[in-house]
Amino acid sequence: ALDGDGIAHLCYFTPPVDHLSGTTGHLLKYANNAGGPGIWTTETIETLTETGGGCDIAVANDGTIRVAYVVGDDLKYARRDGSSWMVTTVVSGGVKWRCALALGSSNTPHIAFSRFSDYDDPLDRVMYQGLPCYATWKSGAWQETALQWAAGEPEYLLDTGEWQDIALSSDETVYGTWKSAWTLRFMVPLSHDPSQFAGYQAGLPGTANRFRIDASDDFYAAGIGSDTGAVVLGRNTSDPSDETSWYFFWERYELDNTGTDYGDDSEQHLGLAADSEAAAHLVFYDAIDDDLKYIWQSASWAYGEVAPFQQVHPCFTELVDSDGDVGRSADISVDGSNDPHIVYLDTSNHAVRYGKRVAFSGPQLRVLPSRWDYGHAQIWPIENRKEFIIMNPGTEDLVITSIGVDDVTSYPAGGAPPFQIWAVKLTESQVPMGDLPATIPPGEHRTFGVIASPDTIAKSRTGELTVRSNWGDMVVSLRAYGVGIDRTPGGCGTIGPVSGIAMVAGFALLSICGRRRRD
């Protein structure tokens, strides 16, 4: 969390052995950089007798620090007054995994969490029956509410509760999000009875979900798609008081890819913030390269030039850290100047890292997404299209000299298809790249399409998209899994010439997934 002076405040658990101090035992710690950039002060909030789960931190209007956390199966809350910590137990027993904390204008704490019970699944799958819950401080005591349907029945959800988040609108209305199976479930308070909540699905993934409300009461939600590992962002600018239709108005964007799937819950880490200009800021863990990446998406529309009429938000992805296994448990906040601050784990060195983004000079090449999985892609002659964005967040003109795709699938001897699986379309796009070389001024972006047409069903095909520029080169890995009916003669066929395709072949590509490489 950031305070009004831009000072960062962090909470985190140590492992059983603190590798930095040699202290044994589980510790819940607090740190701030009030002493200046790179000068950190740490304190122990509590020495734990059981394993810590998730923790969340907030700065109150009076400058005090508040922390909600799960230890063992209890939910606790800590308040820092001066140099001492006051710890209370919010809920004793039955709590699992993580929690989320938000403070009202009078510093009243609001906490989202989940209770768990074992679920006897007939197929012997590892699932849980979870009850989304909410706690707040009222009339001098903690009060817990099990979130319910309007009918008054508890909202038990299967395989839920590993992820939840909470936020308050400008009128202090509380909204929460929970994972339900692999989807995102919103809990919206009912106007006729604020103690009851209606549960809505919004067509967004619930895994690693994050939820924010900005100063204009616009809603943002982000999660990781469980089938392809896509980083999905949702925006909703409609009025949530319309309980019957509000959940229909989510705009959904698949921005990038984490390289995870259904079974990779421990690899899925995501952070979300919204700034005063309604731009979205995200950080995520790239589970293939063990890297931390950052996404910025503008709130403004860039109107498309293709039919049917399309729109796109300018956005970009950039690599934050690739030194070892970095990026788990990532979170992000923005300061008063809308600059992002990021905290994350350095698993390789058993450390917590913090970073603040600064402006880049010269031309800058950013490609979004930085990797892409088309998922189940219809085989040839169907064209499965993904729109890519190139943006220049630098201070000088960016010149794009070539864009192309190599097929890098490992085929058995003589098994390569006789036609192009991958193709680039530079002109048929939302904000067309056009002929190359192309110049992109500072702060502007261009788009192009990449087509995947797998040659056979039940096989994965991989490609490498290369963008060359006066900044350097960017390489993006691609994957598509063929499904559908094989319509090629004898099982395969030839694709004829396609207008607007630029191909680059024969490069020795050594770096992948959006890492910079200069020749």
Which among 330, 358, 386 is the end of a domain?
358
pLDDT tops 80 at residue 125: no
* Statement to judge: residues 513 and 412 lie in one domain: yes
* Statement to judge: residues 391 and 507 lie in one domain: yes
* Statement to judge: residues 286 and 377 lie in one domain: no
Q: Work out the number of other CB atoms within 10 angstroms of the CB of residue 508.
A: 5
pLDDT of amino acid 83: 81
* Statement to judge: residues 290 and 372 lie in one domain: no
Least confident of 81-90, 309-318, 337-346, 442-451: 309-318
Residue 62 included in any domain? no
pLDDT tops 90 at residue 397: yes
Domains held by the chain: number: 2
* Statement to judge: residues 344 and 442 lie in one domain: no
What are residue 415's phi and psi, to 5 degrees?
A: -100, 0
pLDDT tops 60 at residue 9: yes
For strands 460-469 and 315-321, give the pairing.
unpaired
- Single pTM value for the model: 0.85
Higher pLDDT, 81 or 125: 81
Taking residues 224-228, what's their average pLDDT?
81
Most confident of 223-227, 267-271, 422-426: 422-426
Taking residues 91-119, what's their average pLDDT?
86
DSSP state string for 390-450: EE--SSS-EEEEEEEEEE---PPTT-S-SS-SEEEESSSSSSB--SSSEEE-TT-EEEEEE
pLDDT tens digits, residue range 495-516? 322 222 222 222 222 222 233 3
Q: Determine the structural domain holding residue 485 and report its residue range.
A: 367-517
pLDDT of amino acid 247: 67
pLDDT of amino acid 22: 53
Residue 463 included in any domain? yes
Taking residues 54-77, what's their average pLDDT?
94
pLDDT tops 90 at residue 352: yes
Taking residues 425-440, what's their average pLDDT?
89
Both structure tokens of 94: 């039955």
pLDDT tens digits, residue range 274-289? 999 999 999 999 999 9
Both structure tokens of 446: 């261009």
| Confidence category of residue 307, pLDDT binned at 50, 70, 90 | very low
Which among 358, 377, 397 is the end of a domain?
358
* Statement to judge: residues 417 and 452 lie in one domain: yes
d(CA 303, CA 300): 10
Q: CA angle at residue 255 from 203 to 321, to 5 degrees?
A: 130
Higher pLDDT, 129 or 299: 299
pLDDT of amino acid 134: 87
pLDDT of amino acid 266: 63
* Statement to judge: residues 346 and 377 lie in one domain: no
CATH of residue 510's domain is 2.60.40.10
Q: Work out the number of other CB atoms within 10 angstroms of the CB of residue 439.
A: 14
Order of strands, sheet of 9-13, starting from the edge strand that comes earlier in the sequence: 9-13, 26-32, 41-48
